[in-house]
Structure formats: C-alpha cells, structure tokens
Amino acid sequence: MAGNPFVRLSRIFCHVWGEYSLFRLAYRGGSSEDMIIRKRAHHLTKILIHPDRYSQSLKQRLRGELADLLVANQGWKQRSWFQWAEDILTVYDGSTGQQGQHQESEIPSIGRPTTDPEKAVRQHSLVDIENLLELMRQRRSSRNFEKGGIISSQELHALVEAALHAPSACNRQPMYFLSVTDLALKTRLAQTCPGGSEFFADAACLLLVLVDASDYRYPENRYQPWLDTAAAIQNLLLAAQSMRLAVCWGDYPPAHAKNLKKKLRQDLGIDDKYLATACLAIGRVAAKPGPVPRVMPAERLFLNRMV
Ligand SMILES: Cc1cc2nc3c(=O)[nH]c(=O)nc-3n(C[C@H](O)[C@H](O)[C@H](O)COP(=O)(O)O)c2cc1C
C-alpha cells in the first residue's frame, strides 16, 4: 500500500497542505508583543539562575529589548504578565555585576501564587511516587460514556486547572478550553474527530483544546502547539482519572490545522486566530476499559548507549 504512487502523492499533498496551513495561521498577523515580552523575561530568569553561562552581549541585548518593550507597552500595565516581566527586570537590574546565582524561589512569579506557601514548603513530599505511578497505571482511554451523564462546573475547573499547570515552551501557557455540552453542537463537533466520530457525541461534554496561534509566530514553532497542549492534556487525563471520569483524547493533527469549518467555528464563537489541537470527550464511566499491554521500562531504557 505504501508503495502505491497515489497513496504516496496524497501523503505528500497532506504534508505540504499541513505546512502551508500552519504557516498561514502563524502569520495571520496581530501583534504578539506580549509573547515577545514573556519570552524575553523568561530568558532573563534563566540568566538570573545561571549568570555565568550566558554571554555579556546576549544579556545586554535581552535586557535592553525587554526594557524597551516594557516602555513601549505601558498601556498593558494591568496585565499580570507585564507586571511579572517588570519584576524580573527589576531583580535583574538589581543583580547586574554580582556573580551570585539566584535560586529559582527568588525569581518573581506571575500573579497569585499557584500553590499555597504551606504546601510549597512541603511540595517535594506532597504525592507519593507509588500513588502517582498507580494513578498513571490506572489511567485509560474510555469510550463508553454513561447516558445523560453530567460534568459539574467544579469538575471542569479542576480538570482545566490541572491542564494549566503543565509545562509549556517559554512558559507560553497558550491553552484555551471550550466545553461543548449542547447536543446539536456536540454532534457536529464529534464529526470533526475522525477517531471518535462514532461515539464522541455520547460524552457529557466535548472539551476543545485551543491555542492562540499568534503566540507561535516562527516556522520553527509550528509543531509546538501540539507539544504544549499534549503536556496539558496528559495532566488533565490524570486529574480525570483521579476523579473517576471517563475521557478519550481525539487529536487534530497538523495536516488538519484548519479542521473546524467556518460555520462550526462561527456557531462555537471561535475566532480565526485560535487553532484547535485536540477534542476531549469527557463523561461518566459506563463500563471500565479492559487492560492494555504496556511495554516495560527494561525494554525501553538504555544507559549511555542504545546498541
Ligand atoms: C494524540 C492522541 C490521539 C488519540 N486519538 C484518539 C481517537 O481519535 N480516538 C480514540 O478512540 N482514541 C484516541 N486516542 C487514545 C489512544 O487510542 C489510547 O491512548 C491508546 O490506545 C492506549 O490506550 P489507553 O489510553 O487506554 O492507555 C488518542 C491518543 C493520543 C495520545
């Protein structure tokens, strides 16, 4: 089949189309200066932690660019990102000339603390590895949803909070989530997920995972939306497992970057700048999935050399 020239041609076409779609999305315009501010500040935090490992010229350039951007965008002062970048610059300026490293805990964090200080002190012992591994072992994709099941808004918030704690390149935190519960909309949305079109509409909600494509402006970033959201989705899946919810991941691969048709986008109120990378079917478990085989660490872990 792979040798079939038609199949090969259609694959090449899909690839070229996917690249072209991503290119168009990324260059849709719109200022992404807040992203540049976030990136510059993010790099300065690394310099604060390892001051000796960066060249003087890079430090000066980053510092200068960030300072200029902050001056030019004073109108954003209300944004937590802006405040954070300003705090980073203040700490950085206060430390210039000193060789001493900063500890990660001394670097200003954004907005409200993400964990309460009490917990932060104990953070390394919060979850026992055996419990965490057990949660990971138990996590399964569920494709059997209880009829009429409902996901409460508290549950949805907990799931999204778990997702938003995931790592993201340059700490972009690019994710947006749209929960679709309306039956007619769910049915139309389910049709956009090739691997779930038969059963996704049975789920209590379909959670669209989106990113602001203008956060990924450069060609080398074109696959990062999928990397960033995959990390977030895995967090969400684990949280869902601990809450005994049924979830199945449906992805929109890069070649289908323009997956959501105009009319559906309009009906869901999704601006063109958002790129959907996945659609998660979430519901109550109707039947527990059976076991799946897993490869063992000994089969996949190598030390120093692979062969
Ligand atoms: C990127 C990605 C896309 C997936 N897409 C689908 C899908 O479209 N339909 C589906 O039924 N399962 C989908 N899955 C779930 C996988 O089939 C499932 O994770 C795999 O079979 C292992 O089973 P488990 O999740 O129960 O451990 C997807 C998983 C990933 C990571």
pLDDT band at residue 3 under the 50/70/90 scheme: confident
pTM of the model: 0.82
Atom in ligand 1 nearest the alpha carbon of residue 237:
25
Ligand 1 atom 16, closest CA? 141
Domain 127-284 matching CATH 3.30.70.270: the answer reads no
End-to-end CA distance of the chain: 31
pLDDT tens profile 92-124: 888 855 545 666 666 666 544 455 555 554 455
Contact 163, 235 (CB under 8 A): yes
Give me the pLDDT at residue 288, please: 86
Average pLDDT over residues 65-71: 93
**Cα(124) to centroid of ligand 1, in Å?**
31
Give me the pLDDT at residue 298, please: 94
From 62, 82, 84, 63, select the one nearest 73 (Cα to Cα).
Answer: 82
pLDDT tens profile 271-299: 988 999 999 999 999 988 887 889 999 99
**Cα(271) to centroid of ligand 1, in Å?**
27
Q: Check pLDDT > 80 for residue 232.
A: yes
Q: Check pLDDT > 50 for residue 50.
A: yes
Contact 37, 215 (CB under 8 A): no
Q: Check pLDDT > 80 for residue 42.
A: yes
CA distance 59 to 42: 12
Average pLDDT over residues 52-73: 92
Identify the H or E element spanning 85.
Answer: helix 80-95
CA distance 292 to 187: 29
**Cα(252) to centroid of ligand 1, in Å?**
12
Give the residues surrounding ligand 1 with Cβ less than 6 Å away: 140-141, 143, 193, 195-196, 248-251, 289, 292
> Which residue ranges make up each domain of the chain?
33-106, 127-284
Q: Check pLDDT > 90 for residue 267.
A: yes
Helix axes 80-95, 33-49, angle to 10 degrees: 30
Tell me the HSE value of 145 on the side-chain side, using a 13 A CA sphere.
24
Average pLDDT over residues 241-249: 97
Strand residue runs (E) in the chain: 175-180, 205-212, 245-251, 274-284
Give me the pLDDT at residue 99, please: 45
**Cα(249) to centroid of ligand 1, in Å?**
6
